[in-house]
Structure 1
């Protein structure tokens, strides 16, 4: 939109323009050349569609977040994590236009003294999304998080802990403690995580009707999450609804679990794992798992490690990337590769095996026994 420059009686130069809403804004300069440069810059952003009203950036970071967050399609746990991330910044009361990259770097530095790199990245991504939304809303012209370095994370292969077969066996043996009645039935839960790769909330959300004992299949269609003082059933993480093909031994274990711990002929919507009148979830699972691994003498094993155990077993058996992706419910094969690529045989491994096979064949064909056999023929 066109602007104008005029000299005022006091000798200063007034540059004015109308923004994309039709409102007139002006600024005064001691020199005409400065007024021209500023007006050229403003009008260029107006024509390019990148104009930002200078008054918009006066809103503080916290105020912008408070108005933006309720519009996001988040489940309660995501909103809770976002609130934690935003609450940890030291610039919440600063105007958006006053926040610089140095503020972000100071915040990241402070977090690095307390939190693991993965936690820092999670919080950083949330805060970055707030600034990106502000740029998209033309509250600020640039995202101050661009270029900020985060603490280096350990390589996946170094950070991942995969239990051995013997360790998983010990966990199963101690999951159904005969001395602790409240852990009765937990063995089937552990088995679902270890031999079907279910996440914590997915295993908690299994209902009797999800299991097809004839086809030996399990439909993963929900997960249980804490929602205030109770629970909520939601779609699995990243919409990873799927059908898991169960091994025969796991099918038998689940059948025995239903017969022993559920009422006779339970309805299809009956929870597979219960505590009192409701499903077992969140803290109910956590303390049972801690008790199980302590009893098994494996206090370092995390529940999610059983999912890694399942994935590593599929890969060791020769399953391809897509098969593993579907079994785990990953959103894409890229996610599977980013997590487990180090478990697949490398090109060097395949080359050695192929060359080894060729060499064995060649040696057998030239052995004295092979030559005498050909002469007799």
Structure 2
């Protein structure tokens, strides 16, 4: 149907389309400044409705997130949207799907690989680059599956980035004790939270979701069955990252004492109250501030989890037990993530074989 000019001088697009059930429907949109803009809106809408690969990448993004909105946790969806809107879509938005080739993908990859932050002088990490590239692969896989795109151009372009970082920034026990005993670290929430993170390997969202009823001081156990996120000014409690993340882990005598002393200082603490009533910003700010004050190398909050895993590995704990404690879905995840920090694994293996073979 034609577009219409409104009394206020703007243009309105009003037309029919066939929906996914085969039913004929009418739709309209007002407020276009130009007639050509209203006409282009109608053409693009019909391309989307007809699964036409001449629709723009921008239209595909809208369809993609409409589909995912009922399938993903809110925090996961927001993370994907952030990557798409800031790191991917600006490059591809106005291109038609049919115009995007492996060379187009490689041009975007070059831009990502060459990027340098003007303030810090740092490039994207290899793991972050991998995450961005995976998101681009995912949306084209969606187009292949549901919108008749012949093939995913990312496959021919090749991958970039690395799944796991070459090195992890971790603190030894000595470094952590120096940090936690700092006279500058006076906030009891932060101090207790850091000790819990280091001695349990919890994710920060798991820590922030803990309630009083999750801690059993008699049995010295800690239950993980939820995760906390702060999204758009709202407190969001979700299920943990994976099904295996639901777990009960043992805590040391020392950590149990730390938690007991902390609880005694909390006024009228109820069993369903969060024991760390804050956001991760507090911990991110404090770890940088205290590390700087103590002339230490600062690490990320997630590196406290890596530090815990590294400690267990060096103590010779079985990888299966480490995997269960960390809430990994598979033991392979633990092995793949931490294989490079197993101490002198090859030397130990050969020493054992030499000792056995030498015996008569």
For the superposition of Structure 1 and Structure 2, which TM-score range results when normalised by the shorter chain?
Answer: 0.7 to 0.9
Q: Name the TM-score, length of structure 2 as normaliser.
A: 0.76
Contact 1:176 1:187 in 2 (8 A): no
Are 2:71 and 1:71 aligned? no
Cα separation, partners in 2 of 1:128 and 1:358, compared to 1, 3 Å: closer
- Give SS of 1:174's match: coil
3-state SS of the aligned residue for 1:263?
coil
Pairing partner for 2:149 from 137, 140, 143: 140
- Larger C-alpha radius of gyration, 1 or 2? 1
Q: Distance in 2 between matches of 1:295 and 1:352?
A: 43
- 1:327/1:175 CA distance change after superposition, 3 Å: farther
Is the 2:127–2:161 contact (alpha carbons within 8 Å) kept by the matching residues of 1?
Answer: no
The question of whether the paired residues in 2 share the 8 Å contact of 1:175 and 1:292 is answered with: no
Question: Once the two structures are superposed, what CA deviation does each residue of 1:220-240 show, in whole Å capped at 9, x if it has no partner?
Answer: 111111111122111222231
Q: Secondary structure of 1:237's partner?
A: coil
CA 1:309/1:317 → structure 2, altered by over 3 Å: closer, same or farther? Answer: same
Conserved? CA contact 2:129–2:162, under 8 Å: no
Aligned length: 299
- Does residue 311 in structure 1 map to residue 314 in structure 2? no
1:155 Cα deviation after fit: 6.8
1:340 paired residue among 327, 338, 341 = 338
2:130, 2:163 within 8 Å by CA — same for their partners in 1?
A: no
1:80 has 2:75 as partner: no
CA–CA separation in structure 2 for the residues paired with 1:79 and 1:177: 35
How far is the alpha carbon of 1:154 from its aligned partner? 9.2
Task: Give the direction of change, closer, same or farther, for the CA distance of 1:56–1:176 in structure 2 (3 Å limit).
Answer: same
Query: Which residue number corresponds to residue 7 of structure 1?
Result: none
| Per-residue CA distance 1:312-347 (angstroms, 9 max, x = gap) | 121222221210110001111111111012233535
CA gap 1:268/1:154 in 2 versus in 1, 3 angstroms: closer
Q: Given that residues 204 and 302 in structure 2 are in contact (C-alpha distance below 8 angstroms), is that contact kept between their aligned partners in structure 1?
A: yes
Gaps of 5+ in 2: 1-20, 23-48, 116-123
Is the 1:82–1:123 contact (alpha carbons within 8 Å) kept by the matching residues of 2? no
Q: Deviations over 1:293-319 (max 9, x none)?
A: 223322422222211121112122222
- 103-112 vs 116-125, which moves further: 116-125
Shift of 1:176: 6.8
RMSD: 2.6
Give the secondary structure class of the aligned counterpart of 2:306. helix
Q: Does 1:98 align with 2:99?
A: yes
Aligned equivalents of 1:245, 1:75: Cα separation in 2: 28
**Contact 2:133/2:160 (<8 A) preserved:** no
Matched, 1:160 2:158: no
> If the length of structure 1 is used for normalisation, what is the TM-score?
0.73
